[in-house]
Chain A
Amino acid sequence: AGSAGDADGSDAELVWAIEGANLSAGHMDPQTSQLDVSGMVQRQVLDSLVFQEADGSFSPWLAKSWEVSEDGRTYTFELRDDVTFSDGNAFDAAAVKANFDRIVDPATKSAQAASMLGGELYAGTEATGEHTVEVSFTQPYAPFLQAASTAQLGFWSPKVLEKSADQLDAGGPDVTVGTGPFVLSEYTADQEIVYTRNDDYAWGPDGAKAPKIKTLRVELLPEASVRAGVLSSGEADVATQLPPNVVADLGDDVTVTAKEYPGLPYSLFLNEKHGVFADQKVRQAFSVAIDIDAAVDEIFFGEFPRAWSILGPTTPGYDKSLEGSWPFDADKANALLDEAGWTERGADGIRMKDGQRLSARWIAWTPISDDRTALANAIQSDLKDVGFEIVREKLEPAAYNEQYGPKTYDITDWDFSGVDADLLRSHLGTDGFQNASQVSDPAVDDLLERGLSASDTDERAQIYTELQQWNAEHVAIVPLYVSSLITGSAKGVDGLEYDLYGRPLFYDASVSR
């Protein structure tokens, strides 16, 4: 696909195939969407204050330098003065304030970005000079720098925020306007996003200038086999979100990069305020009734490790001691369920108690990949063996939200990437926006609070270890496996880099045939 124009390839086009099925459902704005894909694609347009290097350290980006106050509550950024949005507006302290204020504004309906910006803790942003900005929090907020390095806290042109903020979720050429290395020049929902080089770009991370390729064409191909197919046939240069089962078939010309997601592994969330999971014994039984090792190993061809904790092994604060601590044990599961009083059996072998079936309803959000479907089948089958019925409903986003809102399910599932263990706050905190298990435990809230303000690395690690152990006993979340973002790039693609989440970065990418 990449067509070499000039000798330096400055007219080159790089085609990048991604899954992207849900982008059109109002997920084009990382400031409001909680989907990974949203940040992944809009990284081309959105720059951040700081850049997080592969070793986890931070380097300047839109901010030349920064300072954290003694009490850990105020971050002062010294901004570059040569940055402009692609619509010509200057990037300055006011733009930072406009964006951050928008994110936390309840009318914006932002969940993830708002939470990364501290949520309730966010006290405000002050432009103390034209290019100096102070972000303050009501209490010390350690994860902020990491948050500030993500696309979720990237910057839209203030003009857009003023005039057409409501169109940002839908996205479009004159709406999706940032300071990034590319400009979104065309967008056809469910089809493709075309990014064109921002020729003026000179403020990239680590001194990156305008990209080498002229056009980055993002093809939205929900079918994994099709993504693999276009990569093999040369129609696409880079394909991400490849499932392990196609990797072997890709051929030698394709370079495969797999990067384990940091953050919360793919897990099941057991709703403890609803139905049978109110009983901790039932939750524990559930977690040991599944032969996770076998299922994950077979279904993902040994490519992905099974998860033992609610943090992935590459996440700072990971508690390695949990490994092997809750192995598959059907007998134990049966014993626990007996103890919990589910001793009768229905005609179909499902356990009963007081005329009620031991049944849990799992809502899953579409689209669902084949391997996750296979995993779910295995889970259902294993649980049926101990007399536990799982009814799984596959729901389209709108229908899913109808159930998710009032929390009328027993189980739901997802993984959540994040480099900072603070992401647990959104999943286990009483007010967490992803608290699908409906955990409400003052001790947990206290731990999360302390993790937030602790600036000492060891102290934070200790806090998050406690949280992981709390879950291991309490079983609000059943982690299943740690997935990787698998990206294949065709021969001729050079200079592709990856961020900490394994997403390709195109600052230096080039393509030649």
Chain B
Amino acid sequence: MIARRVGLGCAVAFLAVVALAALFPDLLATHDPLRTDVRSALEAPGTAHRFGTDQSGRDVFSRVVHGAGRSVGIGLLATALAVVAGLVLGSLSGVSHRVVDAAAMRVTDILLAFPEFLIALIVVAVLGPGTVNVAIAVTIAAVPVYIRLARTQTRTLHIAEHVEAARILGVGPVRTFTRHVMPGVLGSLSVLATIGIGSSILAAAGLSFLGLGPSEPAPEWGLMLSGGRNVLGRAWWISVFPGLAITLTVISATVIGRALRARAEGRRG
């Protein structure tokens, strides 16, 4: 109980730091993330460079800090887009005619049949690599899940007793939809989204790792991890710190997401 509180507190605090790094990297960074200094390449973590330097002598700490915006940003952007798309498509499908709804759900089911990461890969194949394309790919890969949840929620809420009660009381259909159905759907979606952000960050990092995302010299965690893997034995810090950054960010998002879900389900703590 207390451990869980502490865990949640740490998660919130860590995400706050990540957010700070993403919005105002210069407050935290000690160096220019792009500035190379080949003479001090592969320096171990120390006073001059907190997290050491990479093969071109760039400061790993500053790159991790500057990478936050891109790495977390892709995840956030993708999740936000997926939630909006899911909400619109899913709730429309939920209130449409049975045939339309059934057709839309079949398409979603077919998309759900494929592993998310494979879909993201294929979308990048079609669009070509790049930061924005990765965000789009991750969105498309994630969206069917949100569509389905939004649709199920819309359906359930549409026939839920409290919505029915409102209807019997004479509340109009539009008002019922916007006041009772939509907020409920959005609520479930946002809880899912908090957990989904983690997945999106991981998927985006995977694409970057494969060289399909942002390209050097841009600081991005997946890319940095990939860049250091050949010198792991000699300069572990190049990969380890961005790796930790990803893991901790995703853990934090997940912990918060789970807490939100627990709250939404009414069991506290």
Contact = CB atoms under 8 A, between A and B. Distances in A.
B230 A370 contact: yes
A34 B230 CA distance: 27
A393 B36 contact: no
Contact of A394 (B34, B54, B216, B234): B216
A376 B216 contact: yes
Interface of A is mostly: helix
A380 interface: yes
Nearest to B125: A396
Name the residue in B34, B35, B38, B58 with the highest tally of chain A Cβ atoms < 10 Å from its Cβ.
Answer: B38
Nearest to B32: A381
B39 interface: yes
Contact of A299 (B56, B215, B234): B56
Interface string B30-45: 0000111011010000
B129 interface: yes
Contact of B56 (A366, A374, A392, A393): A374
A268 to B, nearest CB: 16
Interface string A239-270: 00001011001000000000000000000000
B73 interface: no
Given A249-B233, A373-B55, A373-B216, A381 B227 contact: no
A282 B215 CA distance: 25
Contacts of A367: 211
A246 B235 CA distance: 12
A291 B36 CA distance: 11
Name the residue in B34, B36, B41, B211 with the highest tally of chain A Cβ atoms < 10 Å from its Cβ.
Answer: B36
Contacts of A384: 34-35
Interface in A248-303: 249, 291, 294-295, 297-299
Interface in B91-146: 128-129
Contacts of A393: 215
B231 A370 contact: yes
Nearest to B212: A396
A344 interface: no
B229 A378 contact: no
Interface of B is mostly: loop
A443 interface: no
A224 B56 contact: no
Interface in B62-76: none
B56 A394 contact: no
Contact of B36 (A223, A246, A381): A381
Contacts of B58: 377, 381
A378 B36 contact: yes
A295 B41 CA distance: 10
B230 A225 contact: yes
Contacts of A382: 36
Contacts of B38: 291, 294-295, 297-299, 374, 378
A412 to B, nearest CB: 15
A381 B56 contact: yes
B243 interface: no
Contacts, number: 81
Contact of A399 (B41, B128, B234): B128
Nearest to A395: B129
A373 B227 contact: yes
Contact of B217 (A224, A370, A380): A380
Contacts of A243: 230
A123 B193 CA distance: 69
A377 B41 contact: no
A246 B56 CA distance: 16
Contact of B41 (A223, A224, A298, A394): A298
Contacts of B234: 245, 249
Interface string A362-376: 000011001101111
B184 interface: no
Given A370-B55, A374-B55, A377-B58, A392 B216 contact: yes
Interface in A445-478: none
A497 to B, nearest CB: 29
B35 A381 contact: yes
Given A225-B229, A294-B39, A373-B227, A378 B211 contact: no
Given A245-B234, A381-B34, A384-B34, A366 B211 contact: yes
A377 B231 contact: no
Contacts of B227: 370, 373
B57 interface: yes
Given A299-B55, A370-B55, A394-B211, A377 B128 contact: no
Given A294-B39, A374-B56, A224 B129 contact: no
Nearest to A297: B38
A377 B217 contact: yes
B215 A392 contact: yes
Contacts of A297: 38
Interface of A: 223-225, 243, 245-246, 249, 291, 294-295, 297-299, 366-367, 370-371, 373-378, 380-382, 384, 392-394, 396, 399
Interface of B: 34-36, 38-39, 41, 54-58, 128-129, 211, 215-217, 227, 229-234
18 contacts: A225-B229, A245-B234, A249-B234, A299-B41, A370-B55, A370-B230, A374-B41, A374-B54, A377-B58, A378-B56, A381-B35, A381-B36, A381-B56, A381-B58, A384-B34, A384-B35, A392-B216, A394-B211
**What 4 pairs across the A-B complex have the smallest Cβ distances?**
A374-B55, A381-B36, A377-B56, A298-B38
Given A392-B216, A394-B211, 5 more contacts: A299-B55, A373-B216, A374-B55, A382-B36, A384-B35
